Amino acid sequence: MPKMKRNANGSGTIYKRDDGRWEGKYSVPAADGSGKYVRKSVYGKTQEEVRKKITEVTAEIDDGTYVAPSQYKMSEWIDLWLDTYVKPSVKHTTYTSYESVCENHIKPVLGRIPLKSISTTQIQRFYNSLIEKGELSGKTIKNIHAILHKALEQAFYISEIKQNPADRCTLPKFARRKIEPMENEDIVGFLEAIKGHQFEIVYFVTLFTGLRKGEILGLTWDSVDFENNVLLIDKQLQHYARRQPAYELASTKSGKERYVAVAPAVMEALAKQKVKQEEMVRVAGSAWNNEWNLVFTNELGRHLCHETVYRNFKRIVKKLGIEKKRFHDLRHTYAVASIESGDDIKTVQEQMGHATAGFTLDNYGHVSKLMRQRSAANMQRFINKVS
């Protein structure tokens, strides 16, 4: 068998195997720091290919940059990363969102690939396929990239891989999804359509407060200030698709509480809900169980389900011919109506619970622009009148 020259940090031996491939053995320092060496192997179709691999490996050993090939498959590493590095350091809601992205998008496509050999091209093709299918928004694809990048970055930090292959991937620029609030005539039709519906007050309060779905369904009576027409938003009803119990009261999306001043009509609707709930308590008797003191419950006091509220909403808007409207568009409708009614961006930011006024302006600045144009037109009419 031909032999290679001994390297400063080990030795290299190349020979042809019975299966026709070439194998090269080399030695690396043991990970326990004992000073001993461990024998490793590389493989190739030719003697020269193996010789080149061993030359590269031994050079890395000499200059201290050698990283032992990871033994994990991508799915195994992702599971370990989620459990060991993500779960202890983030809120449970964040962890479940990471887990969902990994289970539904990353692992089905990349899970079987060895972590040590995952390449930039493979990841780029994965992103391209998501874009070509057209089923996910640009924001969702960017979130998938962010999570995959974090998982691979941790593998790089602890020397499971030599570099993060996601560093060099390219995501196209996505156009921000156009905000499409309900037009005034749609609002009129919607309010008429929900009269008498089991979720009438849920939809009415959402439309005129801009609360998120989890916030409206997680609203509790102790957060309703009837005297001052104010709601304290400090929690949300969180849904977990892959765990039991599937629902719990959690902190808001930002983790901060806020006070939302609401119109008298909203408080009147909540007062009606209180009367309605008192009647449900009477009918349910001992079966009533509203352990979280929720404003909106079913007939037995249990929380409402996100999907049920959403499906009923979609049925209503479909009948109205505005089937593309989402439940979240009620929130957008409130924001636009607030600005058009004269509220400044800072006020809208605080009411909506956005992190910054800049975010609010990015999303609803076009409304302010229209108002400024309208103001200029009004001034021109005044000028024409007095000149």
Q: Which residue has the tokens 């195994």?
A: 76
Q: Do the Cβ atoms of 255 and 222 come closer than 8 Å? A: no
The CA–CA distances, whole Å, from 379 to 242, 339, 382, 384, 387 equal 58, 19, 5, 9, 12
Taking alpha carbons only, the member of 266, 231, 271 closest to residue 351 is: 231
Taking alpha carbons only, the member of 223, 214, 231 closest to residue 305 is: 214
Q: What is the pLDDT of residues 267-278, one digit of tens each?
A: 999 999 999 999
Backbone angles phi, psi at 354, to 5 degrees: -75, 150
Exposure string of 95-118, with b = 16+ CB inside 10 Å and e = fewer, is bbebbebbbebbbeebbebebbeb
Q: What is the mean pLDDT of residues 201-215?
A: 95
Q: Which residue has the higher pLDDT, 40 or 292?
A: 292
Task: Kindly report which listed range (103-107, 227-231, 290-294, 340-344) carries the lowest average pLDDT score.
Answer: 340-344
What pLDDT does 63 receive? 67
Please give the order of strands across the beta sheet that includes 22-29.
12-16, 22-29, 37-44
- For residue 211, the tally of other CB atoms under 10 A from its CB is 26
Asked whether residue 35 carries a pLDDT value surpassing 50, the answer given is yes
Q: How many angstroms separate the CA atoms of 76 and 162, rounded?
A: 18
Q: How many angstroms separate the CA atoms of 169 and 141, rounded?
A: 13
Output the average pLDDT for the chain: 85
Q: What is the pLDDT of residues 120-129, one digit of tens each?
A: 999 999 999 9
Q: Which residue has the tokens 């040590």?
A: 116
Q: List Cβ neighbours of 36 (8 Å cut-off, separation of 6 or more).
A: 29, 30
What pLDDT does 362 receive? 72
Q: How many angstroms separate the CA atoms of 339 and 337, rounded?
A: 6
Asked whether residue 103 carries a pLDDT value surpassing 80, the answer given is yes
pTM listed for this prediction: 0.64
Q: How many angstroms separate the CA atoms of 343 and 339, rounded?
A: 5
- Kindly tell me the number of DSSP H helices and DSSP E strands found in the chain: 14, 8
For helices 200-207 and 328-340, give the axis angle rounded to 10 degrees: 40
Tokens found for residue 114: 């060895």
Q: How many angstroms separate the CA atoms of 76 and 62, rounded?
A: 31
Q: Do the Cβ atoms of 219 and 59 come closer than 8 Å? A: no
Q: Residue 278: enclosing H or E segment and its boundaries?
A: helix 264-284
Q: What is the mean pLDDT of residues 132-140?
A: 79
Q: How many angstroms separate the CA atoms of 123 and 164, rounded?
A: 11
Rounded to whole angstroms, the maximal C-alpha distance in the chain is 104
Taking alpha carbons only, the member of 153, 145, 132, 150 closest to residue 171 is: 145
β-partners of residue 26 are 12, 40
DSSP 85: I
Q: Residue 37: enclosing H or E segment and its boundaries?
A: strand 37-44
Tokens found for residue 31: 């990970």
Asked whether residue 2 carries a pLDDT value surpassing 60, the answer given is no
β-partners of residue 238 are 248
Q: What is the pLDDT of residues 165-192, one digit of tens each?
A: 999 998 877 666 677 889 889 999 999 9
Q: Are strands 12-16 and 22-29 parallel, antiparallel or unpaired?
A: antiparallel
Cis peptide before 245 (omega within 30 of 0): yes
Length of the chain: 387
